[in-house]
Homo-oligomer: A and B are copies of this chain.
Amino acid sequence: MMSSGKKRRPADRAHKVGQTGTPRIKDVAREAGVSTATVSHVINKTKYVTDITRERVLNAIEHCNYYPNANARTLASGRSNMIGLLVSDISNPFFPELVKSIETAAFERGYNLILLNTNYDAKRASDYVRRLIELKVAGVVLMTAELEPSLIDELARRRFNVVFHDRGSAGEHMSNIALDYAIGIEEAVRHLVSLGHRRIVHVAGAYRIHSAILRRDAFLASMERHLPGVPTAIYEGDFKFDGGRRAASEILAAEIRPTAVVFANDMMVFGAMQEFRAAGLSVPRDLSIIGFDDIAFAALADPPLTTICSPRPEIGRRAVDALMATIERPGEGGVETLIPTYLIVRGTTAPPRASDK
């Protein structure tokens, strides 16, 4: 696949293609009757070359079927075109669309994506950071929570460009893409209140995830704004299907049942729906439900889920934008981006039953 790295006498390679049959820039240069410098310059458009020689070089490249060696290029130039993307779990439905948009943005800018799935394992995450450093990647996108501060320090010390999601703030080479949870949650509460709901509760995510707390606090703030003094309740969930089920059964067992529930993510809604349905409740007739994230299945559920959208395509695009900014203009510092969330009204919200008002 690659040349073997074994030592050969100069004579061996002077006038023929490498032993694996893979042509090098030297072969192209000879074929075109120019120097390797000129070939490099036409490939990289890094210096003016006359049309006639450029043409000759291009033909030689074509003729030799020459593909430049990216490793040699990175080594010599000090520029890499690889971006590392750390995620906790690609099979968590939040991630595929995010990964997709990051990959697309990277592709468009000529960068390749290294996907690193930590599987929520801090040790694995630290292993990955080491590999990224060794690879001298152009930038790192961190979409995971289980990264020790010391690793981030290591990246910072080596001046890697990094972009976080919902964590810390921008720094020298560090950018941050934050979601404005409050906007979407405010819309959700307003929507429910305008439908006539007053007994509204929240099922939160796992509190060790920072955004679970942001969402909960935003919910509480909106409730206080729209229904000051009206009691509410917070159920602690875990962002998972089963956590949704558990929260649902707690809600069903409560002395005073709510008429509407705002969940911290969609996955918990799917779990809760099974429980509610099993208890004979019909959504949205007996209970209004709002999810969070707008994962792909939210629109496909039956009824389709009213939910607050975390716009993953935009998160991905902005993350790559931020990386490019620090890569192309080092010294200007990182970027701080706030992306709004917004409510998507579908089929799981309706006015409360008259008897429930």
Contacts and interface: CB of A to CB of B under 8 A. Distances in A.
A104 B116 contact: no
Contacts of A135: 70-71, 112
Interface stretch (A50-58, A153-161, A218-226, A249-257): A153-161
A159 B3 CA distance: 11
A44 interface: no
Interface in A57-96: 67-72, 74-80, 82, 85, 89-91, 93, 95-96
A95 B88 CA distance: 16
A4 B159 CA distance: 13
B77 A1 contact: no
A71 B136 contact: yes
Contacts of A25: none
A22 interface: yes
Nearest to A136: B2
B133 A67 contact: yes
A151 interface: no
Interface in A133-182: 133-136, 138, 158-161
A97 interface: yes
Interface in A243-274: 270-271, 273-274
A300 B119 contact: no
A292 to B, nearest CB: 17
Contacts of A273: 302
A342 B127 CA distance: 36
Nearest to A111: B131
Which of A3, A21, A71, A119 has the most chain B CB atoms closer than 10 A to its own CB? A71
A268 to B, nearest CB: 11
Nearest to A134: B70
A235 interface: no
A68 B134 contact: yes
Given A2-B79, A71-B71, A300-B270, A112 B116 contact: yes
A241 B300 contact: yes
A231 to B, nearest CB: 31
Contacts of A127: 107
Contact of A100 (B90, B270, B300): B90
Q: Which 6 A-B pairs have the closest CB atoms?
A: A2-B78, A115-B115, A5-B78, A70-B134, A91-B96, A71-B74
Given A2-B80, A71-B74, 12 more contacts: A1-B159, A5-B78, A22-B158, A69-B75, A70-B136, A71-B136, A91-B96, A91-B97, A95-B96, A103-B115, A103-B116, A113-B115
